[in-house]
Amino acid sequence: MPKDELKAGYKLIGTRPNRPDGLDKVTGRARYGADFSVPNMLWAAVVRSPHAHAKILKIDASKALALPGVKAVVTRADLPTGLSGEDLNLQDNTLAGDVALYDGHAVAAVAATSALIAQDAARLIEVEYEVLPHVIDVDDAMRMDAPVVQEGAADHTVPEGSPPNVARCLDFGHGDVEAGFAEADLVMENTYRTEATHQGYIEPHACVGQLGEDGKGEMWVCTQGHWYIRRMSAAVLGIEAAQLRVTPSEIGGGFGGKTTIFSEPIALALSRKAGGRPVKLVMSRAEVLRATGPTASASMDVKIGMKKDGTMTAASAVFRMQGGAFVGMSPVGEALSCAFACYNIPAIHHEGYEVLANRPKAAAYRAPGSPMAAFAVESLVDEMCRALGLDPIEVRLKNGAREGTKASYGPKYKQIGLVETLEAARAHPNYQVKLGPNQGRGVASGFWFNHGGETSVSVALGEDGTVTVSIGTPDIGGLRASVGLMTAETYGIPYEDVRVNVVETGALGVNEPTHGSRATFANGKALVEAANQTIKEMCKRAAKKWGIEPEAVEWADGAARPAGDNAGKFPPMTIGEIAAGMGASGGPIAGHHEVTMGGAGASFGTHVVDVEVDPETGRTTILRYLVVQDAGRAIHPAYVEGQYQGGAAQGIGWALNEEYVYGKDGRLQNPVFLDYRVPVASDLPMIDTVIVEVPNPGHPYGVRGVGETGITPPLPAVANAVAAATGARIRHLPLSPPKVLAAMKASRDG
Amino acid sequence: MRYHTPSTFEDAARVSAGAGGVTRFLAGGTDVLVQLRAGLVTPDDLIDIKHIPGVRDIQRTAEGGWRIGVAVPGIALGRHAELSADWPGVVEGMELVGSTQVQGRATLTGNLCNGSPAADGVPGLVAASAMVTVVGPEGTREVAVADIPTGPGKTSLKKGELIAAITLPPRGKNGGDAYLRFIPRTEMDIAVVGCAVSLTVEGDRIASARVALGAVAPTVVLVPEAASAIEGSTLDEAALERLAAAGSRSTTSGAPSLSAPKSRGCWPSAPPA
């Protein structure tokens, strides 16, 4: 039974205590990736391709190796051969083989006794290239005559005669789409485009790697998932996973971009070649933007049929998405599955193309694929609402997915909160504010599946009755506070009596990264199991002392208590008393739980944004912004609100100004934050939030993941608001001032 | 890399003239050190001019103008009440350069010598008819600020020459100046277009004006047509429209493209290879 029915009894869940990592972070004591140093350490620098696509003819490192202080140079020749599938892709991306596939692709690396010597040495490594034709744009990459990024990349889903860069085709749906369109009063179809954006985390990738000739190694690294770092690095280097011990640092943002490896194996390879000396590798911002992350760019056709009353009769989507030069990174499958997830539509057809381009290997970015899909679908829904004179929230309520709805991507929804978010948005004061000239309001909803995944946690009692929790997922958004609250609630002890540690790969079973909005959900569910093992054990110890049956003891408020016929016969025995005597009463008390977790409930959200567009410059100002999202149960509401606000901020950036800009030469032109324009604090108003709580039946405290859904609605919400303010519908993000100005002019000129 | 700390401008010029490789002068360092750390420029000789007496001073000239030392940081301009009252446009242009931290170091002279067409500090100086004192192997000369930048990242300063101070003319009666820029964000951005206007009025009419535009041509440009569009007017709607039209006509590349950082002279942005 979900504990939700006991909500009134919660003492700690839903409160807002200080985060345990807060003091270290605000005082600068917290150790991030680049803060870690060890004695005898070397520094790495990486040589990167200045070409979008080029054959590597020769690498001459002799001048670099002659420089005093240089201890090792590695190229692809230092990595094992014979890999296949994703392992080979990871290896190819770590260090280019015969061909550099994008501007910034690592080609060689050097380790030296100082960072400056390493940088000087990197400049002395001579690489001879033969430049090949390249392709950057997703629609260009779909052409039959496009330069071929990787031969033989297509899998079995790609029909003969397809464009050469198509690596995978998808086709799924349900119902009779043509009949649905025939039934509609209005059928509209448009093409929408989004540009590649980067996760934009503050902290660049950084690690210290050490690997001896005996194949034993260690790594300290900024990552969202150190078991992934271990598995992937071991595969790329041809070493045994168990011999590599990986410890995560504090993390300054990841947003999906730190769920994989980029240059971590380079540090280990350099160390191995430099006699086992540890090697530190810290990326510059330009390296981060050129060679890590970003997400896909997309070109999307959407068609929807609607009756005059707003009832949706059918929908279809054809999505083309490039995820860089390697297969498997385009989130086109997720995008299609999310496209119509908010709606109950009788007939839907999805068609998708994963296409390769000469760009960096894409990584996950907060609800991968869903923001692009939402931009296309929620823009078109808005256009149709305007065409039919319907209220956008009413239309979403009319067609919105509910408990029991068969999701557009297959399964039947359990309890979900879309309708509740729409109702809360409609009732919010922001939705009533009267708008002035050049102002407009936009509404959009969004969805993310959420994920459970491989999870392993342990809990252990200290001799004083305090509790240590070991988790294997780095804390990005307040995880330790949330896990601490759930632990303290479960035991009935103070929050301050719990310490939650993110531990290294040697201390737990395999954990997936902090991804898929899973960490609070999965760790919470697992730790309740683990804590209950120790509670059962503590009841047993108390029963033994009292001389009664263990079943006759119950646990409440941090103490074992005689129950049933024995109630009141003995005074409660506290966790502190049991822990103090545990050595004599049977030994240490600890619990653990390992599982591949199911039951992650989907999270839906609805956003309302008001903008003002300057008719002279085309610049958009966000006047007010509202996020309403279902959290299932907000364990620590401040961090739930933080996730909502962060998702909105990133989505607004994607909508307004962020984009990868390439020159004709295929090189990235804006690899610094001055030109890659994430919103700064003064660009945004305070983001208003409403936490809707429709408990997830798959979690003991009703938790749903909240990290990702929030980046999904902003793209269409902002575009819908700009259309409302200007009368100009822009179907290609970002809505940068010149684009808005041109669209306004075109709309005026008719 | 050799690091020099001359105590006179003549010494600084001598070191620079005699240097064989890449030379950079160091004042605030907000361009030089960033370029150095990004691997874009590695000077063989780095000449720190902050040890020269008077470089941090803001002084009234005998004529009633202002002489601004080459190491005066942006924040000191804004805190100088009399200078700010005389030339608010010059001051607010400089105050737009970088963040609060950068303001503590960045200098008006550095902003000029970096050679960016988008430099926020420069249009105000050009509109104000500011001069610079140039010291070099052939002696000292006074040069109009407008003649210093020659293209993106380039200046008219010859080998061995450096700027010793910026001089603003007397403000005079009934005058004022202002600087505004357009950026896609609200802070921490580079001007897509910057505009400085300095003018004097007689009664309700504009007696004289100077209009300078930034980020729309290889250098900051003075637009005399824009000035004559408003001279003699009461700044009525018709005059403003003439002003806008003259401004648009003056740009060499038409509307600047936000999506092409290099075309608007934004550097350092080229990544190290």
For residues B273 and B253, give the distance between their C-alpha atoms in angstroms, rounded to a whole number. Answer: 29
> Are A257 and A476 within 8 A, CB to CB?
no
> Are B177 and B89 within 8 A, CB to CB?
yes
- Mutate which of A675, A682, A722, A739 to disrupt the B interface (most B C-beta within 10 Å)? A675
For residues A704 and A425, give the distance between their C-alpha atoms in angstroms, rounded to a whole number. Answer: 20
Contact B182 A671 (CB under 8 A): no
Contact B259 A661 (CB under 8 A): yes
CA A395, A401, A406, A411 torsion: positive or negative?
A: positive
Chain B closest-CA separation from residue A345 CA (Å):
39
Distances (CA, A) of A370 to A365, A389, A518, A529, B260: 10, 27, 17, 32, 28
pLDDT at residue A507 above 70? yes
Burial (CB count <10 Å: 0-12, 13-18, 19+), residue A308: exposed
Residue B255 contacts A, CB cutoff 8 Å = yes
Which residue has 């003492």 as its token pair?
A11
Query: Using one digit for the tens of pLDDT, what is the confidence trace for B117-163?
Result: 999 999 999 999 999 999 999 999 999 999 999 999 999 999 999 99
Domains and CATH numbers, chain B: 175-250 (3.30.390.50)
The H or E element containing residue A63 is helix A62-66
Quote the mean pLDDT of chain A.
97
pLDDT of residue A750: 75
Q: Which chain B residue is nearest to residue A683, measuring alpha carbons? A: B186
Distances (CA, A) of A121 to A69, A115, A116, A118, A252: 9, 10, 8, 5, 29
Determine the average pLDDT of the residues in A99-122: 97
Chain A closest-CA separation from residue B133 CA (Å):
32
Chain A closest-CA separation from residue B183 CA (Å):
9
Q: Which chain B residues are Cβ-neighbours of A136 within 8 angstroms?
A: none
For residues A170 and B160, give the distance between their C-alpha atoms in angstroms, rounded to a whole number. Answer: 66
Nearest to A670 among B255, B257, B269 (CB): B269
Closest-CA residue to B223 (of B200, B253, B202, B244): B244
Which residue has 């989004």 as its token pair?
A194
> Are A447 and A602 within 8 A, CB to CB?
yes
Q: Tell me how far the alpha carbon of residue A42 is from its chain's centroid.
A: 32
pLDDT of residue B260: 40
Task: Compute the residue count for chain B.
Answer: 273
Nearest to A657 among B184, B260, B261 (CB): B184
Q: Which chain B residue is nearest to residue A46, measuring alpha carbons? A: B273
Phi, psi of A322 (to 5 degrees): -100, 140
pLDDT at residue A594 above 70? yes
DSSP A165-207: TEEEEEEEEES-HHHHHHH-SEEEEEEEEE-------SSPPEE
pLDDT at residue A8 above 60? no
Domain spans of chain A, in order of start: 3-30+452-597, 37-368, 415-448+601-748
Nearest to B39 among A119, A671, A683 (CB): A119
pLDDT of residue B250: 83
pLDDT of residue B34: 87
Select the CATH number that applies to the domain covering A3-30+452-597 from these four: 3.30.365.10, 2.60.40.1930, 3.90.550.10, 3.40.190.10. Answer: 3.30.365.10
Residue B271 contacts A, CB cutoff 8 Å = yes
CATH class given for the domain over A37-368: alpha beta
Give the tokens for residue B214: 């930034």
> Are B154 and B59 within 8 A, CB to CB?
no
Helix and strand numbers (H, E) in chain B are 10, 14
Distances (CA, A) of A333 to A131, A294, A328, A501: 33, 17, 10, 35
Q: Which chain A residues are Cβ-neighbours of B185 within 8 angstroms?
A: 657, 677, 679-680, 682-683
> Are A605 and A712 within 8 A, CB to CB?
yes
pLDDT at residue B263 above 60? no
Q: Tell me how far the alpha carbon of residue A100 is from its chain's centroid.
A: 27
The H or E element containing residue A445 is strand A439-448
How many CB atoms within 10 Å of residue B234? 12
Distances (CA, A) of B15 to A290, A676, B3, B36, B80: 39, 39, 10, 20, 33
- Name residues 700-739 of chain A within 8 A of B (Cβ): 736-738
Q: Which chain A residues are Cβ-neighbours of B272 within 8 angstroms?
A: 286
Contact B269 A677 (CB under 8 A): no
pLDDT band at A741 (very low <50, low <70, confident <90, very high): very high
CA A19, A24, A27, A28 torsion: positive or negative?
A: negative
pLDDT of residue A9: 81
Residue B193 contacts A, CB cutoff 8 Å = no
pLDDT of residue A699: 96
Query: Using one digit for the tens of pLDDT, what is the confidence trace for A171-205?
Result: 999 999 999 999 999 999 999 999 999 999 999 99
Q: Which chain A residues are Cβ-neighbours of B255 within 8 angstroms?
A: 738
| Per-residue H/E/C for A711-722 | HCCHHHHHHHHH
Q: Count of alpha carbons within 13 Å of B109, Cβ hemisphere only?
A: 28
Residues contacting B207, CB < 8 A, separation 6+: B174, B199, B200, B201, B231
Chain A closest-CA separation from residue B156 CA (Å):
27
Contact A619 B262 (CB under 8 A): no
Beta pairing partners, B131: B144, B167
Distances (CA, A) of A318 to A295, A348, A717, B2: 19, 11, 21, 61
pLDDT at residue B267 above 60? no
pLDDT of residue A256: 97
Nearest to A737 among B39, B258, B266 (CB): B258
CA A426, A430, A433, A435 torsion: positive or negative?
A: negative
Contact A290 B271 (CB under 8 A): yes
For residues A180 and A606, give the distance between their C-alpha atoms in angstroms, rounded to a whole number. Answer: 26
Chain A closest-CA separation from residue B116 CA (Å):
14
> Are A173 and A348 within 8 A, CB to CB?
yes
| Per-residue H/E/C for A641-671 | HHHHHHHHHHHHHHHHCCCCCECCCCCECCC
Q: Which chain B residues are Cβ-neighbours of A674 within 8 angstroms?
A: 188-190, 266, 269
Query: Using one digit for the tens of pLDDT, what is the confidence trace for A217-242?
Result: 999 999 999 999 999 999 999 999 99
Determine the average pLDDT of the residues in B74-81: 97
Q: Which chain A residue is nearest to residue B244, measuring alpha carbons? A: A616
Three-state DSSP state, A89: helix
Q: Which chain A residues are Cβ-neighbours of B189 within 8 angstroms?
A: 674, 677, 680
Q: Which chain B residue is nearest to residue A284, measuring alpha carbons? A: B38
Strands A439-448 and A244-248: unpaired
Contact A675 B190 (CB under 8 A): yes
Chain B closest-CA separation from residue A513 CA (Å):
31
Query: Using one digit for the tens of pLDDT, what is the confidence trace for B119-132?
Result: 999 999 999 999 99
Determine the average pLDDT of the residues in A482-489: 98
pLDDT at residue B257 above 50? no
> Are A230 and A287 within 8 A, CB to CB?
no
Of A333-347, A380-394, A684-698, B34-48, the range with the lowest mean pLDDT is B34-48
Nearest to A738 among B258, B261, B271 (CB): B258
Give the tokens for residue A323: 């995820």
pLDDT at residue B265 above 60? no
For residues A439 and A165, give the distance between their C-alpha atoms in angstroms, rounded to a whole number. Answer: 43
- Name residues 643-662 of chain A within 8 A of B (Cβ): 656-657, 659, 661
Distances (CA, A) of A331 to A194, A195, A296, A364: 13, 14, 7, 8
Determine the average pLDDT of the residues in B205-228: 96
Nearest to B261 among A123, A670, A736 (CB): A670
Query: Using one digit for the tens of pLDDT, what is the confidence trace for A111-150?
Result: 999 999 999 999 999 999 999 999 999 999 999 999 999 9
Three-state DSSP state, A740: helix
For residues A740 and A725, give the distance between their C-alpha atoms in angstroms, rounded to a whole number. Answer: 11
Q: Which chain A residue is nearest to residue B185, measuring alpha carbons? A: A683
- Mutate which of B190, B253, B257, B259 to disrupt the A interface (most A C-beta within 10 Å)? B259
Name the maximum alpha-carbon separation found in chain A.
90
Determine the average pLDDT of the residues in A199-212: 97
For residues A689 and B250, give the distance between their C-alpha atoms in angstroms, rounded to a whole number. Answer: 47
Which ipTM value was assigned to this complex? 0.86
Equal fold, A3-30+452-597 vs A415-448+601-748: yes
For residues A458 and B272, give the distance between their C-alpha atoms in angstroms, rounded to a whole number. Answer: 46
Contact A736 B184 (CB under 8 A): yes
Burial (CB count <10 Å: 0-12, 13-18, 19+), residue A226: buried
Contact B186 A680 (CB under 8 A): yes
Residue B100 contacts A, CB cutoff 8 Å = no
For residues A688 and A607, give the distance between their C-alpha atoms in angstroms, rounded to a whole number. Answer: 10
- Name residues 171-230 of chain A within 8 A of B (Cβ): none
Residue A617 contacts B, CB cutoff 8 Å = yes
pLDDT band at B269 (very low <50, low <70, confident <90, very high): very low
Beta pairing partners, A43: A112, A280
Rounded to two decimals, the pTM is 0.94
Q: Which chain B residue is nearest to residue A674, measuring alpha carbons? A: B189
Query: Using one digit for the tens of pLDDT, what is the confidence trace for A555-591?
Result: 999 999 999 899 999 999 999 999 999 999 999 999 9
Chain A closest-CA separation from residue B185 CA (Å):
6
pLDDT band at B258 (very low <50, low <70, confident <90, very high): very low
pLDDT band at A7 (very low <50, low <70, confident <90, very high): low
pLDDT at residue B253 above 70? no
Q: Which chain B residues are Cβ-neighbours of A682 within 8 angstroms?
A: 185-187
Q: Which chain B residues are Cβ-neighbours of A204 within 8 angstroms?
A: none
Burial (CB count <10 Å: 0-12, 13-18, 19+), residue A161: exposed
> Are A445 and A422 within 8 A, CB to CB?
yes
Chain B closest-CA separation from residue A73 CA (Å):
17
Q: How many CB pairs under 8 A join A and B?
A: 70
For the domain spanning A415-448+601-748, the CATH number is 3.30.365.10
Contact B261 A669 (CB under 8 A): yes
Task: Compute the residue count for chain A.
Answer: 750
Chain A closest-CA separation from residue B24 CA (Å):
19
pLDDT of residue B37: 82
- Name residues 676-705 of chain A within 8 A of B (Cβ): 677, 679-683
Measured at the CA of A625, the angle between CA A624 and CA A626, to 5 degrees, comes to: 130
Alpha helices in A466-621 (DSSP H): 479-491, 519-546, 575-580, 582-585
Q: Which chain A residues are Cβ-neighbours of B260 within 8 angstroms?
A: 661, 669
